[in-house]
Amino acid sequence: MARGPKKHLKRIRAPKAWMLDKLGGIFAPRPSQGPHKLAHSIPLSIILQQRLKYALNATDAKHILRDKEPNVFVDGKVRRDSKFPAGFMDVVSIRKTGENFRVLYDIKGRFILRTIKSDEAKFKLCKIVRREVGPNKIPYIVTHDGRTIRYPNPDIDVNDTIKIDIESGKILDFIKFETGQLVYTIQGNNIGRIGVLTSRDRHMGGFDIVHIRDARGHNFATRIGNIFIIGKGKNPAISLPKEAGIYLTPVEKTIQAQQKGKKGRH
């Protein structure tokens, strides 16, 4: 029997969102305990090696993170652990290069780093997963990245999204969970898709189902826990990925490639 927490992770069992080749070794870096679960996070070591190409191997990544001068910041805090888990909506900043990235999902459910400007790097969006009353009748909310905020606005409820100032940790604004809002799918078969919330089906004792329409007019449905509100109306509060969350079928991809080829010839 296993005693204590697991400390290893086989490469073949690593989340597909990391995009690790199965022939690159036997093991993969197992994320440390942190604000995101293993399945919904990516270690800083892989970000520096596979995404940003700043490190050739895990040793180089450790040297970068453990340098005398702090190099890598996640949500405004220095991180020196190569296995620290960065998750959806986290802001990763590289001080020496002056770059800022937001961790998002692409249309295939893989982690991507969206380059953002310094103004946008000052805030992040958080989904409310719990709202409760603690000891001494103090109300508080819990976000998807493990933050606990006391005395929130009474209008903020579960599934709403709050805009947080990274430096102070205070709530700047909030977006209600309502039909007509822009949502980002963060789990399920439709992960990475972005669209407008059109309706919600309530199922007592089961999972509520929400219906979403993307920019191309295609409709899809998913569980209510799989979506993340990212904007009021059709206006996103963050910079979107390259594909803008629009899923294309293989036929549509072929047609799009042919059209690009024709434009290139002219």
Distance CA 51, CA 104 (A): 12
Tokens representing 90 are 């986290």
Residues 30-55 have pLDDT tens digits of 999 999 999 999 999 999 999 999 99
What is the residue type of 162? Answer: I
Which residue intervals of 73-115 are DSSP H helices?
Answer: none
pLDDT at 193: 95
Tokens representing 262 are 């024709």
pLDDT at 24: 87
Under the banding of pLDDT at 50, 70 and 90, the label for residue 250 is: confident
Q: Name beta bridge partners: 90.
A: none
pLDDT at 3: 86
pLDDT at 263: 67
Residues 136-157 have pLDDT tens digits of 999 999 999 999 999 999 999 9
pLDDT at 266: 58
Distance CA 94, CA 55 (A): 13
Q: Closest by alpha carbon to 14, among 47, 50, 39, 46? A: 39
pLDDT at 257: 87
pLDDT at 32: 95
Residues 79-128 have pLDDT tens digits of 999 999 999 999 999 999 999 999 999 999 999 999 999 999 999 999 99
pLDDT for residue 248 is more than 70: yes
Can you give the pTM of this predicted structure?
Answer: 0.90
pLDDT for residue 1 is more than 70: no
Q: Give the Cβ contact number of residue 257 at 10 Å.
A: 9
Q: Closest by alpha carbon to 142, among 152, 188, 42? A: 152
Residues 193-222 have pLDDT tens digits of 999 999 999 999 999 999 999 999 999 999
Q: Closest by alpha carbon to 194, among 163, 144, 228? A: 228
Distance CA 232, CA 255 (A): 32
Tell me the CA distances in angstroms from 43 to 88, 109, 112, 149, 156, one per residue in order.
12, 16, 13, 26, 31
